[in-house]
Chain A
Amino acid sequence: MTSHGKRRAALIGALSAAAIVIAIMALSGIGDNLVYSWSPSELLAARQKAVGATVRLGGQVEVGSLERVQPGEPLRFRVTDGKESVAILANAVPPAMFREGIGVVIEGTLRKDGHFETQRLMVKHNNEYQAPEEGEMVNAKELERTLEGEV
């Protein structure tokens, strides 16, 4: 075969390989086996199996669930997916954007008593970027302060 023919054969081979990789990733449901995070419903459904394993729990901080605690004590709140909710004990400095109603991803373990214990608390941002409403002040000092905290 000429080098011309070899090159074009290589082109077809490479394009096929790339197409197969994309098709597998898109269609095979490989993502279902590589679950990034569990919802509270999924975690509670798998309860016995999940106890003690390190998993990520994703959901929203339940409105009204955030408890005031003394400095040094773990943060207590509940994470919900709208159907089920899980009680969280977080030994972590929360990111500045942490608040009730916001999305979070929490890496930790479910204890036998039903509490989910974590030292890695991540806040999820949605795809909305809006200016402050009139009269609303953005507290930049607060943002900067939390960046200095050890997580």
Chain B
Amino acid sequence: MRGKFQWEHAVLLLALVLLTVGTYIGLAVAPPERHMGDVQRIMYVHVPTAWIAMLSLTVAFVAAIGSLWSGKHKWDAAVVGSTETGVVLTGLLLSQGMIWARATWGVWWDWDVRLTTSLVMFILFAGVLALRASVDSAERRASWSAVAIIVAYADVPLVYFCVRWWRSLHQVQSTPETVDAAMMLPLRINAFGMLFLATWFIVRRARLELAQRQVEETTLPERRSVEEVQHA
């Protein structure tokens, strides 16, 4: 692996450029919202975070299916990378949402359906990570966490559609028709930036998992205790 150029670093560079440009336009160039003022600018991180969090967990869902179907390590590595990235993004999503909620709705939190399903999403997928940490056998860890992810994924479409199906405090999805063109530009740039940043995290974490697995498999059978090494 050493010395070989790894493509994801080019993706990371692109992510950092896009996030810098998008955030600059969002903070300094785009107009304030007519009723919300500057508070609305949190949209340029909140909405991309939401999209990419759900996308990461969708990748985890697909990887979990691949892992159960084929039993191949690379699918399990993709499961780890995308689940961890998705959980971190969901945590960020909830925090940003609370800040925006306090400034516009007037409260940090309310048990409306969008907020509740999002919190459930965070808890379920964090639970998958806790489950992984508690299983020693690599085969069992892969199968159990894949099953848990597939079941937990049922919540992800709910997070998206709940505001259309039920009454809530959170508004329904905006569209390019309901958002000023000058606000759509930084939103789109940051969405791609977030996509590439998440891609980098997922791929790096998956490579790390594969490398760890390789080390475990090549050294475990002949692993010696510290005493044995010292007396050798």
* Physical interaction between A and B: yes
User: Which residues on the A side are within 8 Å of B32 (C-beta)?
Assistant: 131-132, 138, 140
Counting contact residues on chain A (CB < 8 A from B), the size range is: 35 or more
- Flag whether A108 is at the interface (Cβ < 8 A): no
Residue of A nearest to B36 (CB): A97
Contact B105–A95 (Cβ < 8 Å)? yes
With A31-B166, A128-B178 in contact, is A3–B40 under 8 Å at CB?
Answer: no
Residue of B nearest to A38 (CB): B167
Q: Measured between C-beta atoms, what is the minimum distance from A22 to chain B in Å?
A: 5
User: Which residues on the A side are within 8 Å of B175 (C-beta)?
Assistant: 127
- Flag whether B65 is at the interface (Cβ < 8 A): yes
Q: Complex formed: what's the CA distance from A106 to B226 in Å?
A: 66
With A3-B71, A129-B179 in contact, is A120–B107 under 8 Å at CB?
Answer: yes
- Flag whether B39 is at the interface (Cβ < 8 A): yes
Query: Quick one: which of A11, A14, A95, A138 contacts B34, CB cutoff 8 A?
Result: A138
Residue of A nearest to B106 (CB): A95
Contact A3–B174 (Cβ < 8 Å)? no
Q: Complex formed: what's the CA distance from A94 to B105 in Å?
A: 9
Q: Complex formed: what's the CA distance from A122 to B103 in Å?
A: 11
A-B contact pairs, 6 of them (CB 8 A): A11-B68, A18-B151, A36-B169, A129-B179, A138-B38, A140-B37
